[in-house]
């Protein structure tokens, strides 16, 4: 049982603790860098290596705060919640489900892992058959899905195919037909497959886009358009009913949440683009972080430490947002991916016991790519009135093959920003002064390869889960997205009463006479 009284008492204590500046924290602890940073690494044999240095020393966390958060983790029954996650416990109580995305990478109950491996083996056979030409010449894949059925694949493909792309993949999510038209323009219908990715197989955007994609194939003399379709879903019956041949359905378990589904058959386009070996490396990198998260306790547990920082800034320091800047073009889509992961998971206002949450929950996640963002939004980070904790992500190995000056400059800029945010600068002219004392954390990865990428994503999944446990909320449901969908259907059907503003807008938009 979580001890809410104790949790409340710890929050009260945290709120009363003095706010030390970053320079005071460094001055008072000669071992601060060693204490608040760690290297996580593993040799995954043929699948590669993972190495990343995580540095939380430029945040305001100190020993007293960390002790308090560790007490909070104990009072929140963090260890048993974590064990429940990996052992098939009902960690999604509002939907009465476990969350078995970990099993897709080998972390779960024997039965869940066995099922996951069988499903992935099936996916692997299809991927290899396509690569070997069993479905004829395939040059392009249009992957249609939205939210968790699109963001993970889009990110992974963008991150991992800069050197070599086995198949040209276009991820289309928006119901705005322009998105699909753009994909059509880039593909030859005679050599294009369509993947329909939808956990529920009911999502309006995806089904509408899939219908138009089949029409496009038919309109372009493809003789058997539905023979070019592969469904990735937890609702195989729905896919069959829609017209997908059973042999081309790659199912995944209902207990794998949409925004946690990259590791399942939703990752099919990734496997097709990078090959099964790299897909397996991605899973292995993620499993390595699962092992760390499962086995290490207290502040040495890196995702838990990150969650301590997140909660400290959002609840104790009142930060409403958290920014993520990838100093790596390959990770340009990471902020978008993390937005869904963190905001859909932890943007809640009731606890699992049904009581209102006291204090804020997920911060608004936003970000961009460095160095571009330096010339656009960093002004506010350095001199604005908001306190915004920043995560920087950079790779020691370059992704490009140009003059090493490019990568050297990229890394120098990344490190300079963290140093500048922290140190600030005094000046006689107030407009030219930098207050400093602004926090940042650093992920310095050895390379942006498949295994390290998997580790990075799994890290953020566990960071999100750890934050949810500490806040007492369920990260695995998303009822907040339903009301808008229902009202859109009411507008479509012409039923339902609307407010005066919406009525007027419907008329102006031509949706109502
Ligand atoms: O509406 C939100 C949501 O349900 C997300 O959680 C999910 O990732 C997305 O829509 C797509 O859902 P599906 O995979 O079922 O089409």
Which pLDDT tens digit goes with each residue over 361-396? Answer: 999 999 999 999 999 999 999 999 999 999 999 999
Q: Is 203 in the pocket of ligand 1 (CB under 6 A)?
A: yes
Q: Is 369 in the pocket of ligand 1 (CB under 6 A)?
A: no
Q: Is 147 in the pocket of ligand 1 (CB under 6 A)?
A: yes
Question: CA 285, CA 132: separation in Å to the nearest integer?
Answer: 27
So what's the pLDDT on residue 165?
84
Question: CA 339, CA 362: separation in Å to the nearest integer?
Answer: 10
Question: CA 227, CA 320: separation in Å to the nearest integer?
Answer: 48
Given a cut of 80, whether residue 513 has pLDDT beyond it is no
- pLDDT band at 42, cuts 50/70/90? very high
Catalytic site includes residue 375: yes
Give the torsion sign (CA, 420, 421, 427, 429). Answer: positive
Question: CA 19, CA 247: separation in Å to the nearest integer?
Answer: 60
Exposed, middle or buried: residue 205 (CB in 10 Å: 0-12, 13-18, 19+)?
buried
Residue 495 CA neighbour count, 13 Å, CB half: 4
- Closest atom of ligand 1 to CA, residue 200: 15
Testing ligand 1's pocket by substitution, the residue of 154, 258, 336, 346 carrying the most ligand atoms inside 8 A of its CB is 258
Q: Are 65 and 17 in contact (CB under 8 A)?
A: yes
- Closest atom of ligand 1 to CA, residue 205: 16
- SS3 of 175, please? coil
Exposed, middle or buried: residue 510 (CB in 10 Å: 0-12, 13-18, 19+)?
exposed
Distance 201 CA to ligand 1 centre (A): 9
- Closest atom of ligand 1 to CA, residue 258: 8
Q: Is 395 in the pocket of ligand 1 (CB under 6 A)?
A: no
Given a cut of 90, whether residue 106 has pLDDT beyond it is yes
Question: CA 448, CA 329: separation in Å to the nearest integer?
Answer: 10
Distance 206 CA to ligand 1 centre (A): 10
Atom 5 of ligand 1, nearest CA residue? 147
Query: Average pLDDT, whole number, for the chain?
Result: 97
Q: Is 267 in the pocket of ligand 1 (CB under 6 A)?
A: no
Higher pLDDT, 164 or 477: 477
Residue linked to tokens 């692997």? 124
> Which two tokens mark 385?
């009135």
Nearest Cα to Cα of residue 35 among 391, 300, 289, 390:
300
Main-chain dihedrals φ then ψ at residue 181, nearest 5 degrees: -60, -40
Question: CA 368, CA 327: separation in Å to the nearest integer?
Answer: 9
pLDDT tens-digit readout, 468-489: 999 999 999 999 999 999 999 9
Q: Is 335 in the pocket of ligand 1 (CB under 6 A)?
A: no
Catalytic site includes residue 12: no
Distance 149 CA to ligand 1 centre (A): 7
Catalytic site includes residue 485: yes
pLDDT tens-digit readout, 444-459: 999 999 999 999 999 9
First to last CA, the chain: 56
Given a cut of 90, whether residue 465 has pLDDT beyond it is yes
Out of 19, 132, 375, 482, which one is annotated catalytic?
A: 375
Task: Note the pTM of the prediction, 2 decimals.
Answer: 0.97
- Closest atom of ligand 1 to CA, residue 485: 1
Q: What is the dihedral of CA 218, 221, 224, 228, to 10 degrees?
A: -80
């Amino acid at each position: 049982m979580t001890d809410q009284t104790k949790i409340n008492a710890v929050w009260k204590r945290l709120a009363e603790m003095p706010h030390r500046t970053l320079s005071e924290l460094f001055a008072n602890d000669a071992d601060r860098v060693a204490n608040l940073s760690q290297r996580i690494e593993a040799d995954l044999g043929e699948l590669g290596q993972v190495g990343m240095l995580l540095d939380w020393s430029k945040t305001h966390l100190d020993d007293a705060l960390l002790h308090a958060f560790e007490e909070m983790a104990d009072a929140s029954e963090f260890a048993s919640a974590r064990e429940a996650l990996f052992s098939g416990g009902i960690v999604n109580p509002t939907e009465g489900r476990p969350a078995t995305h970990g099993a897709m990478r080998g972390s779960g109950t024997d039965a869940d892992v066995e099922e996951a491996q069988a499903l992935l083996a099936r996916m692997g056979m299809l991927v290899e058959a396509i690569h070997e030409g069993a479905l004829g010449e395939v040059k392009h894949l249009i992957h249609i899905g939205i939210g968790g059925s699109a963001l993970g694949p889009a990110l992974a493909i963008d991150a991992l195919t800069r050197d070599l792309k086995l198949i040209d993949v276009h991820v289309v999510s928006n119901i705005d037909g322009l998105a699909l038209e753009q994909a059509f323009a880039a593909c030859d219908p005679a050599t294009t497959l369509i993947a329909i990715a939808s956990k529920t197989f009911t999502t309006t955007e995806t089904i509408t886009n899939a219908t138009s994609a089949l029409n496009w194939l038919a309109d372009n003399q493809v003789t058997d358009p539905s023979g070019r379709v592969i469904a990735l879903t937890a609702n195989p019956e729905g896919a069959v009913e829609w017209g997908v041949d059973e042999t081309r359905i790659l199912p995944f378990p209902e207990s794998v949440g949409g925004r946690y589904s990259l590791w399942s058959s939703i990752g099919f386009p990734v496997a097709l683009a990078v090959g099964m070996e790299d897909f397996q490396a991605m899973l292995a990198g993620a499993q390595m972080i699962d092992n760390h998260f499962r086995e290490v306790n207290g502040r040495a547990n890196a995702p838990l430490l990150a969650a301590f920082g997140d909660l400290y800034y959002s609840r104790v320091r009142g930060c409403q947002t958290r920014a993520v800047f990838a100093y790596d073009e390959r990770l340009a889509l990471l902020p978008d991916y993390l937005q869904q992961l963190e905001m859909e998971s932890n943007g809640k206002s009731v606890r699992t016991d049904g009581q209102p949450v006291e204090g804020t929950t997920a911060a608004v996640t936003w970000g961009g790519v460095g160095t571009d963002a330096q010339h656009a939004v960093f002004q506010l980070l350095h001199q604005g009135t908001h306190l915004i904790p920043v995560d920087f992500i950079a790779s020691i190995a370059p992704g490009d093959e140009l003059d090493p000056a490019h990568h050297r400059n990229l890394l120098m800029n990344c490190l300079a920003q963290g140093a500048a945010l922290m140190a600030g600068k005094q000046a006689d002219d107030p407009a030219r002064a930098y207050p400093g004392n602004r926090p940042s954390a650093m992920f310095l990865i050895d390379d942006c390869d498949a295994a390290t990428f998997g580790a990075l994503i799994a890290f953020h999944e566990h960071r999100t889960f750890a934050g949810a446990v500490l806040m007492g909320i369920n990260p695995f449901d998303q009822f907040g997205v339903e009301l808008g969908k229902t009202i859109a259907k009411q507008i479509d059907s012409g039923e339902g009463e609307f407010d005066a503003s919406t009525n007027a807008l419907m008329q102006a938009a031509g949706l109502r006479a």
